[in-house]
């Protein structure tokens, strides 16, 4: 004879759901914070260390964001193939779309952020020079 079927009791581990939700929100927020830190560090490196122009800094940072988005799209495709879920046509299209929808805004934000940084530092140097 086989083992008896154990059905979950209604409300079983219901107390765990809010904790799991909280951890998930915390991990997502942490990922956003780490991403913003890497983004800002890349801008700082391009601006202060390499002394790149505004356009070059924004282009390099946007390219980094686009590579990350392409990697996520590639992983989504692999996951879909392994699990047999998802719309493969749309996921293949994501290989092109995700880098574009992250790279273009990343370029604009990096360009504006670097321009403001450049202007603030130039003003500070002018005040210190007087």
Query: Does residue 2 carry a pLDDT above 60?
Result: no
DSSP tag of 12: T
Distance between CA atoms of 99 and 106, rounded to whole angstroms?
10
Helix ranges (DSSP H) in 45-87: 54-83
Q: What digits encode the pLDDT tens for the residues 8-25?
A: 555 667 767 777 888 889
Q: What digits encode the pLDDT tens for the residues 38-91?
A: 999 999 999 889 999 999 999 999 999 999 999 999 999 999 999 998 898 999
Using a cut of 0.85, tell me whether the model's pTM lies above it.
no
Indicate the SS3 state at residue 6.
coil
Indicate the SS3 state at residue 44.
helix
Distance between CA atoms of 104 and 6, rounded to whole angstroms?
53
- Domain extents for the chain? 49-129
């Amino acid at each position: 004879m086989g083992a008896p079927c154990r059905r979950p009791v209604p409300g079983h581990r219901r107390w765990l759901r809010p904790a799991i939700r909280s951890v998930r929100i915390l991990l997502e927020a942490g990922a956003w914070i780490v991403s913003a830190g890497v983004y800002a560090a890349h801008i700082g490196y391009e601006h202060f260390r390499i002394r790149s122009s505004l356009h070059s800094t924004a282009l390099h940072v946007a390219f980094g964001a686009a590579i990350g988005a392409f990697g996520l799209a590639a992983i989504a495709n692999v996951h879909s193939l392994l699990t047999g879920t998802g719309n493969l046509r749309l996921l293949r299209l994501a290989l092109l779309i995700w880098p574009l929808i992250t790279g273009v805004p990343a370029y604009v934000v990096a360009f504006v952020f670097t321009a403001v940084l450049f202007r603030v530092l130039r003003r500070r140097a002018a005040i210190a020079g007087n």
